[in-house]
Structure 1
Amino acid sequence: MKASVGKNEVNKASQKGKIAIFGVTHIPGSAERLMLLAEALNESGFLLLYESTLYSTLLQQGYALEEALQFTGDAPSDVIFAVSFGGDGTFLSSLHRLSDPSTPLLPINSGNLGFLTELTPSQAIEQVQCLKKGKYTIQKRALISLYKEGTLLGNAFNEIAIERDETGTLISVDAWINGDFLAKYRGNGLLIATPSGSTAYSLSLNGPIVDPRSEVLILTPIAPHTLTLRPMVIPNNVEITLKVESRAANFAVAIDGKTMLFSTKQPLTIKLSDNTINILKLSERSFADVVRSKLLWGETVHPIK
């Protein structure tokens, strides 16, 4: 969907660097923290454009936004960066709504775990001047693309999941890598994840944790019917071909959680996308530090007495 900016906003918006704001405010206190961040950004000379649903929600919560700008659909292509305020789910939905995939995206965590959204609102407010002065880094993250008969169907940041459409029915997923047959995956399906997605759905399936800088893809079986099928790490410069067989007429494909249905025996292709996502980083926190703190690696677990 193309972006649409509100009436009488073009001249006003051209005066300052524009920032698109995506977010959710259902967690207690998150709306207040978002407005504190917005105030700091405004005072630093940025012009904020709120995603229309977020704009309406904030108005309903009593915040005075009558003079604020809003947009519907995708973020305008001329924003200098976008902010995702929420959890990892908000981040995923935000990156799929960038008109220009090269637009930097700043993830801010107002939720719980947050592997992708590691920066807290208070940390972001403290570092607003770094944004103004350009004192930040851009981390490029890989995307993978799904094709059917040469037609691009979508890009995934975390994963593409090939799953059964009906519960109680197994599916078989035949997989080829660069035309070389790999295996028949019998079970609930097969997950193809990026390094960024290694801490998402794939992790819950006992897939490996992979540093996001790694140039690899992860094949993780979903509830395999045999114990011999295990997760596998492969180079990201290969082409994966998949063919599904099932007693059901259809199977499901979820691209970062967005599901579509396909007829069985319809071959699909997955390969590395030509595009990348640019994540705006305000901290020097390493991936090792994020994993250690989020998963409590090395922490002593004391029994409850």
Structure 2
Amino acid sequence: MKWGIICKPDEKSFRIGKEIYELLDDAIIEKKLAEYLGKDGHTIEEVGKIADKIVVIGGDGTILLTLQHTTNPIFSINTGRIGFLAEIDASNAINGMKKVLEGEYFVEERIKIASYLNGSRLEDAANEVALHISNIGKLLMTKLYIDGELAENIYGDGMIIATPMGSTSYALSVGGPIVDPTLHVFVVAPLAPFRHIASPLVMPADKKIGIGVDKPSKIAIDGIGEYDFQAGDMLEIEKSKNVARFVKLKNTFYSRLYKKLSFRMPEIK
């Protein structure tokens, strides 16, 4: 079993990375952590290809970046703010890692999105593909096709196509539903639609989605990769053959919803 470690480049993450490195036998480490430890390092792409399992230390952004470079299982430790995607918080990092090394875990798979811009494959999205108009203040018409048929013309700022995992991220902020991350569905959520009847749509992930626009726009993949999208271009979206794999200590999705996202009223005693 070859472990890898990828860290957010900050002091807190590096300190935990050092402790995790000392627990593991000859782990492959990303370059920035390697500099901190005085060791030889690798690119994130190399760690993603070589390591059988990867410890990711940071926030949701670090997790999403790692998932663009591997389909192998990741064990995620939150040192960011909300850290909704992370399995454990920094305070439980060592105990959690020890449980994993003792075999007290399972691997959960989650779907990814495959995107094609004018036929050219973009990187997979674990959370969402977001389309937004380039010039703020302009009204964008987005043509939504499902299995080759025009489903709707939506006027607004753009559109989000999210995985179930991404339903608790950008899509949630625009009124999309929360979806169990193990389901195989897409969430299509308009951005600031001109007509409020343009509600978010949930559809099976075996559907093929097509999107066209009437003005210059941008496509963002998990908030990382960004591409120009022009009138006359076509963005095609389908379920990827690749999946995101998470090392899980227990099924924590619904308790995490309560802890991370809810505005809790005082309990009645």
TM-score under structure 1 length normalisation: 0.81
1:209-224 counterparts in 2 under 5 A?
209-224=178-193
1:109 deviates by: 0.4
SS of the residue 1:224 aligns to: coil
Alignment check: 8 A CA contact 2:165 2:181 kept: yes
1:172–1:186 CA contact under 8 A, matched in 2: yes
Q: Contact 1:164–1:252 (CA<8 Å) still a contact in 2? A: yes
Paired residue secondary structure (2:26): strand
Instruction: For 1:22 and 1:200, locate their aligned partners in 2 and report how far apart those are by CA, in whole Å.
Output: 22
Q: Secondary structure at the match of 2:41?
A: strand
What residue identity is the alignment partner of 1:21? Answer: I
**Structure 2: 5+ residue stretches without partners:** none
Which residue in 2 is equivalent to 1:195? 164
The answer to whether 1:252 aligns with 2:221 is no
In 2: Cα distance, 1:214 partner to 1:73 partner: 28
For the residues of structure 2 that align with 1:288 and 1:138, how far apart are their CA atoms? 17
Q: Residue 52 of structure 1 corresponds to which residue in structure 2?
A: 31
Structure 1 segment 153-192 matched on structure 2, within 5 A? 153-192=122-161
Contact 1:48 1:69 in 2 (8 A): no
Q: Which has the larger radius of gyration?
A: 1
- Which amino acid letter does the alignment assign opposite residue 31 of structure 1? F
Alignment correspondent of 2:45? 74
Q: Which residue of 2 aligns with 1:286?
A: 252
State whether residues 20 and 75 of structure 1, in contact with CA within 8 Å, keep that contact through their aligned partners in structure 2. Answer: no
1:253 is paired with a residue whose SS is strand
1:117 correspondence with 2:86: yes
Is the contact between residue 217 and residue 228 of structure 2 (CA under 8 Å) also seen in structure 1?
Answer: yes
Aligned twin of 1:61: none
Deviation at 1:272, TM superposition (A): 0.5
201 and 179 in structure 1: CA distance in 2 versus 1, 3 angstrom threshold:
same
What's the Cα RMSD here? Answer: 1.9
Question: CA separation of 1:149/1:112 partners in 2, compared to 1, >3 Å: closer, same or farther?
Answer: closer
The residue aligned with 1:240 is: 209
Letter in 2 for 1:197: G
Q: What's 2:2 paired with?
A: 18
Residue 96 (structure 1) aligned to one of 68, 71, 92? 68
Q: Bigger CA drift: 192-201 or 118-127?
A: 118-127
| Deviation of the 1:298 alpha carbon | 4.6
Matches within 5 A, 1:4-43: 17-26=1-10, 29-39=12-22, 41-42=23-24
Unaligned runs of 5+ in 1: 1-16, 59-64
1:92 maps to a residue whose letter is: L
Report how many aligned residue pairs link the two structures.
265
For residue 40 of structure 2, what is the amino acid of its counterpart?
L
What residue is the counterpart of 1:274 in the other structure?
241
The 1:38/1:22 distance shift into structure 2, 3 A limit, reads same
- Alpha-carbon offset, residue 35 of structure 1: 2.1
Q: TM-score, length-normalised on structure 2?
A: 0.91
Equivalent position of 2:115 in the other structure = 146
SS of the residue corresponding to residue 233 of structure 1 reads strand
C-alpha deviation, 1:25, in angstroms? 4.4
1:23–1:90 Cα contact (<8 Å) kept: yes
Distance 1:55 1:78, change over 3 A: closer
Query: Aligned letter for 2:20?
Result: L
Partners of 1:261 and 1:187 in 2: CA distance: 18
CA distance in 2, matches of 1:172, 1:92: 29
Query: Hey, what's the Cα distance between the residues in 2 that align with 1:234 and 1:124?
Result: 37
Distance 2:84 2:118 in 1: 34
2:6·2:44 contact (CA, 8 Å) conserved in 1?
Answer: no
SS of structure 2 residue aligned to 1:291:
helix
- The alpha-carbon deviation at position 235 of structure 1 amounts to 0.9
Q: Distance in 1 between matches of 2:136 and 2:97?
A: 48
